[in-house]
Amino acid sequence: MAKLKLNLITGRTIHQGVAMEGGKEKDAYTKACGIIEMDPSDLKKLGIWKGTNVRVTSEWGSVVVKAVEATQGPHPGLAYIPMGPWANSVVNPKTYSTGMPTFKGVPIEVEPAINEPVLSSIQLVQKKCRGEA
> Residues in the site for other proteins, rule: CB under 8 A?
7, 9-14, 16-18, 20-25, 60-61, 70, 72-75, 78, 80, 83-85, 88-89, 91-93, 95-105, 121-122, 124-126, 128-129
Q: Which is nearer to other proteins, 48 or 80 (CB)?
A: 80
Residue 120 CB, nearest distance to other proteins (Å)? Answer: 10
Cα–Cα distance between 29 and 16 in angstroms, integer? 7
Cα–Cα distance between 64 and 58 in angstroms, integer? 12
Residue 117 CB, nearest distance to other proteins (Å)? Answer: 17
Residue 43 CB, nearest distance to other proteins (Å)? Answer: 16
Report which of 107, 127, 92 is spatially closest to residue 7, judged by C-alpha positions: 107
Q: Which is nearer to other proteins, 46 or 90 (CB)?
A: 90
Cα–Cα distance between 58 and 44 in angstroms, integer? 21
Report which of 124, 93, 123 is spatially closest to residue 106, judged by C-alpha positions: 93
Q: Is 29 helix (H, G, I), strand (E, B) or coil?
A: helix
Residue 96 CB, nearest distance to other proteins (Å)? Answer: 7
Q: Which is nearer to other proteins, 84 or 112 (CB)?
A: 84
The answer to whether 114 touches 17, Cβ cutoff 8 Å, is: no
